[in-house]
């Protein structure tokens, strides 16, 4: 059974910059909790986040900043048929740190 994933945008925040609100890297959120986000990202867009795997970093999803760590980034079968026509994806698990740990 195919689930409809919610499209959002992932930004990597460097050098104290704030979220731009732009459309940097489209992602498709599969599951989201206060401590973790699981999403799919096109393989062509994943190169920007691959070097950050395992390294606490500043991110923003849809202009909402947070600190987290990519704990998993693996090839997957995209869960939404229409999106799968756009290319192969990777499934990413991003652990979100509580604000007091930032």
Of 12, 32, 14, 31, nearest to 22 by C-alpha is 12
Which distant-in-sequence residues (6+ apart) come within 8 Å of 49 by Cβ? 10, 12, 25, 41, 70, 73, 92
pLDDT in tens, 41-89: 989 889 989 999 999 999 999 989 999 999 999 998 766 666 556 678 8
Nearest 5°: phi and psi at 89? -130, 165
Sorted by where each begins, the domain ranges of the chain are 6-101
Which helix H or strand E contains 43, and what residues bound it? helix 43-46
pLDDT in tens, 11-37: 999 887 766 655 678 998 999 999 999
2: pLDDT confidence band, cut at 50, 70 and 90? very low
């Amino acid at each position: 059974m195919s689930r409809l994933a919610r499209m959002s945008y992932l930004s990597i925040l460097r050098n104290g910059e704030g979220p731009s609100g732009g459309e940097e890297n489209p992602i498709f959120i599969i599951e989201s909790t206060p401590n973790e986000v699981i999403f799919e990202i096109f393989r062509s867009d994943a190169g920007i986040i691959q070097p950050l795997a395992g390294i606490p970093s500043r991110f923003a999803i849809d202009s909402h900043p947070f600190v987290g760590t990519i704990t998993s980034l693996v090839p997957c079968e995209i869960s939404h048929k229409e999106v799968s026509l756009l290319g192969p994806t990777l499934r990413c698990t991003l652990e979100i740190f509580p604000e007091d740990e930032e």
